Structures are given as structure tokens and as C-alpha cells.
Amino acid sequence: MTLDGIGMTSQRARARMLERLREQGIQDPMVLAAMSEVPRHPFLEESIQHQAYDDTPLPIGQGQTISSPYIVARSCELACRGNRLDRVLEVGGGCGYQAAVLSRLAKEVLSLERIAKLIGKARQTLRQLRINNVVMKNVDGSLGYPAAAPFDAIVVAAAMPYIPDALKQQLKPGCRLVAPVGSGDIQRLIVVEALPEGGFTEKELEAVKFVPLLSGVR
């Protein structure tokens, strides 16, 4: 694994990525700082590290992908709303990149991933980057993690057919859940907010494309 900046993995490439994120409408300075601080290339196989800062999802093995930088930044910006958070739940941890970005925005990140091989690689990368406030668990995250609830934000990184009430109930009042909802080529990014007086609001945003959220552990 290459942690040093060479070629497309250099700080210059990250600066170009940040400029593109600003052009795409990402404004939160904390999110932009986190995207700048966390390198994307160590989370990828060396053969595709030269593509790390392109605005595209990339394969990470086991039929899964790392989300594009824009989608990671957009999800984090929607979840945080300019606030530094205490505890965040991520569903669909994958290679650990989004959890690493969230680690700069929250005191603690709990990341759930159903595929054990991905968790092993992700933990190794997080250790090498000295990111110590992310806990990754090899569990079925489709219904969240009630034992550690409530959370200041929930970010789902795989497409759900709908957002289950059991997951919404794990939000603190006034906090947000961000998830892709739909199947195949028909998916939208959805933001759910837990109202202080009880109940939830739900807002549909842009079209997205994620791998499906599956149940079970392997």
C-alpha cells in the first residue's frame, strides 16, 4: 500500500479534487478540510490508485465500490449541517474511506460492514493512517445498531428499498439520516430529519447510483 504522494496520489491531485468539489456545490469548510486531510488512494488497490482523486466510484473487491469523492462530501455535508458531531453511525463501511472522512467531523464513528474481508483491509488502512476514533463491526447493518443509539447522524452507503422506521428511531432529535433509496438505475438521495417534537421529515434530493444494501453477514 502506498501512503506517500506520487503522481495522481499527490497533494496536488487532492487540491484539484477540492476545487472540483467546490465547483459542484460543496461549501462546508469542515467537510472540505476533511476531504483534504484524508487521502483516498490508500483505500484502493495499488493498480487503481492513480484514479483515486477522479470523481468516480471505484471497485474495492467483493462486488463493492468506494463512492465518488462528491457523493462522500455531499453525504457528510448533509449529515453534519456545519456542526461537529459526537457519535455517527455509518451503514456500509466498505473500504473505510467515508468513515475516515467522518472521523474528522465527529468524535466517534461506528461503521457497520457485512463483509469480513473488507473490514480487515479497512481496519489495516485506518491503523496506518492513525485514525483511532472509528470502530468497524462485521454485522448486518440494515437495521442500524440499536445498542449504541442514539446517533447525531446516520449515513448509509448502499441503496435501500426504503428507510426502515427502526433506523430512523436511532437518530437523536434534530439530527439527520442520509441514505440512497431505490433500486437499479432509479435511486435518489434521501435526507430524514428527526424533529425535536417527535416524528420525521423526509426530503428527496438528487439521483444517485449505489450498490444495493444486502442483509446477512459473510
List residues with catalytic annotation. 67
Residue 55 CA to residue 218 CA, distance in Å, equals 30
Contact (Cβ atoms closer than 8 angstroms) between residue 88 and residue 113: no
Contact (Cβ atoms closer than 8 angstroms) between residue 60 and residue 118: yes
Residue 78: is it exposed, middle or buried by C-beta count within 10 angstroms (0-12/13-18/19+)? Answer: buried
Q: Alpha carbon of 192 to those of 68, 83, 145: distances in Å?
A: 22, 17, 17
Contact (Cβ atoms closer than 8 angstroms) between residue 82 and residue 113: no
Angle at 61 between CA 133 and CA 92, to 5 degrees: 40
Q: How many CB atoms lie within 10 A of CB 91?
A: 26
Residue 19: is it exposed, middle or buried by C-beta count within 10 angstroms (0-12/13-18/19+)? Answer: exposed
What 3-state class would DSSP assign to 38? Answer: coil
Specify the amino acid at residue 158. A
